[in-house]
Every structure is written in structure tokens, then in C-alpha cells.
Amino acid sequence: MPNVHKPGRNDGCPCGSGRKFKRCCGGVARGPGAGASGSVEPVAHTHYQLALALQQAGDDEAALDALRRALSLARGLAGAHAQMGDLLLARPEAHLLLGHLLNEAGRFAEAASSFERTLELDPGNASAYQGIVTSKKLTEADRPLVARMEERLTAAAGSAHQQMTLHFAAGKALDDLEDYARAMEHFDAANGIRARLSSFDRRDFTHQVDRLIATFTPDLFDGFTELGADDETPVLILGMPRSGTTLTERILSRHPRVAGGGELRFWRDSRSRLVEVEPSLRAQEAESLRGDYLRLLRSIGPSALRVTDKMPFNFLWIGLVHLLLPRARIVHCRRNPIDTCLSIYQTQFSDHWGFAADRGELVAYYRQYQRLMGHWREVLPPDRMLEIDYEEATAAPEATARRLVAFCGLEWDAACLQPERNADAVRTASKWQARQPVYRTSVERWRRYEPWIGALRELLPAVSTARRP
């Protein structure tokens, strides 16, 4: 047992760390685990000394466990915090996590440095390669990075998921370098793996859309008006993924009275309760569901007049949302169908969507989405849904921003003209793009890949009509 008599500030720490007392156990704050004289709980000392011994023996995992135990007993044990920091900084996972956090915050140069440090410690880390290519637009100077990724793929090292990530990263890099044929080879390879990791039953999805259309009729809305509440807080921004939902939210959430909620999973995670609404739906259940959602929104923006929810797949749940919150606003984002589906095909998402891995399945999914949106357009009151076209939003950003703000019942604020200055973290695949001024280079992007679009060509004549409030 170490001597716990408090030494001088510049004396060696009695715990054996080799540090001065003031920079080790002498930095312990009073609180749980600290005695009246400021001495540390002896058991915490024991775990700390064990961690030092384990680190010297080369067992970093066990050392971290011992440090966590020491800090659970004496959270102010400065030496343990310092040792844990040293251990974590020697691990690729810490640098990888830091890189992702910096990417989300828009600090791209720092993020790239963290990802490069990850690769120094773990040369095969696929997520670090992906982090680098999504933190900037690559140039010819980045050709060696592409070569490194392709060498890893040639070696067939890592899991299927890691190989898929590398293929998506290499495809994005080659797209930046305008080498579209090679980029498409990597996107095809990535989706070959994605198809094995997930599945899509187009018949089941068609039946789900059938049920939603059959259930949410004007008669249903007229018969259950007592279930609704007049709260105007929610603004649901939805549509297909890669249709401009991130841009739309960042325009709107620049307004001082709007809080950006990002992609909330509330309605999707409650889908077992939402696939159908039976006539026996009770007011108590409706109130519970609505209350949970509003509490979530208000936790995001306690003083905001409007809070956005930009989960694209909320297009499936518009009927139930309108039933429970008839004053909620729906912003439907649309983009050229082939641009939308090609972008989905070429993007790695955190979730594996089976329909995303095959051009034919993408067409099938998109057609059902169009069919369902056509139904909502018919049954919702005209002032509840605004439809925004990506092409128009990028060609006339001020007119689009003014439409959005007016639709939300807010006074105009010029901050909405600079979505690239939005300080909110970006957690979608558009991290770098969302931080740029509004641009039009993604309009009709599919033409660069015209030789390889395959079944997506079926969407060429697809023209959606919209009624604008």
C-alpha cells in the first residue's frame, strides 16, 4: 500500500507514476473518493498503480480497464486521466473518432490529419480512407491515395464491410478526378457487397404502400379530427435520400427561430405501431405518441418556434403525422430521378438499404415512393405541404429560401441565404458539400455516367407534378 501522506507539490508522486505530485494525484479534486485532507481513496490508487504496471507490461487493454475502475472511484485522479489520454492517443480508434467528429464540425483539414494519423497506426483502416475522401474534393495530388486504396483492395484484406467501404471511397476519389469509368467499377463492386449484406423485397414494399394509401383516406382524416393537436413546432423535411434534404434543412435552420434536428429516427423506429391505423386507435395512444415526439423536438430547440426533422423516409409516415399533428408542415424535396438514384447507388450510408444496391431495385423503390407522394399530395390540405426542387433551389437560392421561410410562418431573415455558414454538425454523407456555398455542379450529374446507368434509364420520362401553396 502506498504512503498516502500528502507530499509537497513538486515532490515525486507516491503512487509511483514518476510524475510530480501536483501533476498527478495532487490534482485530485474533492468529491467521491477523496478524503477530508484531499487524499485519494487508496483502492483507486491501487487500480492506478495496476494500470501503470499493465502498461509497462504491454497490456494496454487491461491498463485501460484498470484506469476506468480507478476513475470510477476517484474521478479527479489527474494522473489516471493523463495516462488514459496517452494510451488512447496511441490507438487508431481515438484518432479515427476524432477525425469523424472534426468532419461533422466542418474542420476538414484537421479531420484529414486525424485520418492520416489513423492510417499510420493502422494502414488498413477503411473508415479512415473514407474519412479522407469525404473531407475534401480530391485533386491530381491525391492520386497516391487512390493507389493505396486499390493496393488494399487487390490484397483482399479485411472484412466484406471494410472492402465495401474501400470501394465506395475509391469510387468517390475517382469521381472527383473525373475518371468515371474506373469510379463506376468501384461503385459496382461496392454494391455487389452491399447486396449481400442486405435485401429488398419489392413486393412487400409495394404492399406496404398499398396499405398506407388504402388506410389514410380523406374519410379517415375527417373521422379522427379529435386525435389532432394544434402544435406548429414540427417541420418535416423529407423525400428520397440524396434529394436535397440536407441543403433544405441548412437553409431553414439558419433562421434564428428554427432549430435543426437532423435525421430523427422517431417515426421510423416506431414503425411497428405505424404501418396501419385501425379505427380503434385510442386518444390515449395518440397523445402518448405525439407527446413523445414533441418532447424530442423541444429538447432540440427549447425556445425555437420551429424544429426540423429531416429523416428522408418520413415520407412513409406523412399520414400518421398529419393525423396526430395536423398543423405540422411537410417540406417535400425532389431532384431529377436519375440523379437521385445514381447518387444513392454511389453513396455508403450508415444503414444498409437493400434497394440501394441494384439499379432495378432502385427504380422499383422510386416508383413506389412517387406513387405514395402522389397520394399525400391528393389527401393533404394544400397549405400543409411545400415541394422544393433541388434544381430550382440551386438556380434561385433566394427565392427558394423565401418560400421556405414564408411556408413556415416566419418573418424573413437574410441569414437563410448562407447555409454554408450553418454551425450545426453535419452527420449525413454530405459533410463537405453542405459546408460549401450553394452550387449547381450536381445538376444532371448522371450524364457523366450515362454509359453505365442501366435500368435507371427507365426513369428518364418520370416527371412529377406539384401543387404549390
Tell me which residue has cell 399533428: 325
Global pTM value: 0.79
> Taking the CA atoms of the chain, what radius of gyration do you get in angstroms?
27
Task: With CA atoms as reference, report the closest residue to 413 among 402, 426, 424, 397.
Answer: 402
Residue 28 — pLDDT band, cuts 50, 70, 90?
Answer: very low
Q: Which residues pair with 237 in a beta bridge?
A: 331
User: Where is mean pLDDT largest: 10-14, 73-77, 147-151?
Assistant: 147-151
Q: How far apart are the first and last CA of the chain?
A: 76
Q: Where are the beta strands (DSSP E) in 353-430?
A: 385-389
Task: Give residue-wise pLDDT tens across range 322-336.
Answer: 999 999 999 999 999
Least confident of 47-56, 301-310, 398-407, 424-433: 424-433
| 60 Rama class: left (phi>0) / alpha (psi -120 to 50) / beta | alpha
Which grid coordinates belong to 224?
Answer: 379522427
Which grid coordinates belong to 451?
Answer: 454509359
C-alpha torsion 204→205→210→212, nearest 10: 120
- The predicted structure's pLDDT at residue 37: 38
Give the mean model confidence (pLDDT) for residues 447-453: 96
Residue 24 — pLDDT band, cuts 50, 70, 90?
Answer: low
Which grid coordinates belong to 198?
Answer: 442486405
Q: Are 248 and 239 in contact (CB under 8 A)?
A: no
Q: Are 345 and 185 in contact (CB under 8 A)?
A: no
Task: Give residue-wise pLDDT tens across range 413-440.
Answer: 999 999 988 888 777 776 667 667 777 7
CA angle 348, 351, 356 (to 5 degrees): 60
Average pLDDT over the chain, rounded to whole?
85
Give the mean model confidence (pLDDT) for residues 4-21: 57
Q: Are 456 and 338 in contact (CB under 8 A)?
A: yes
In our burial notation (b when 16+ CB lie closer than 10 A, e otherwise), range 371-391 reads ebbebbbebbeeebbbbbbbb
Measured CA to CA, the distance from residue 281 to residue 286 in angstroms comes to 7
Whether the per-residue pLDDT at 1 is higher than 90: the answer is no
- The predicted structure's pLDDT at residue 72: 84
Q: In what order do the strands lie in the sheet with 258-260?
A: 258-260, 306-309, 234-239, 329-334, 385-389
Tell me which residue has cell 490484397: 155
Measured CA to CA, the distance from residue 100 to residue 150 in angstroms comes to 22
Structural domains in the chain, sorted by start: 21-89 (1.25.40), 92-197 (1.25.40.10), 204-459 (3.40.50.300)
Whether the per-residue pLDDT at 290 is higher than 80: the answer is yes
Least confident of 179-183, 274-278, 305-309: 274-278
- The predicted structure's pLDDT at residue 432: 62
- The predicted structure's pLDDT at residue 441: 79
Whether the per-residue pLDDT at 4 is higher than 50: the answer is no
Task: With CA atoms as reference, report the closest residue to 363 among 460, 428, 297.
Answer: 460
Neighbours of 58 (CB within 10 A): 8
Task: Give residue-wise pLDDT tens across range 65-97.
Answer: 888 888 888 888 888 887 776 666 668 888 888
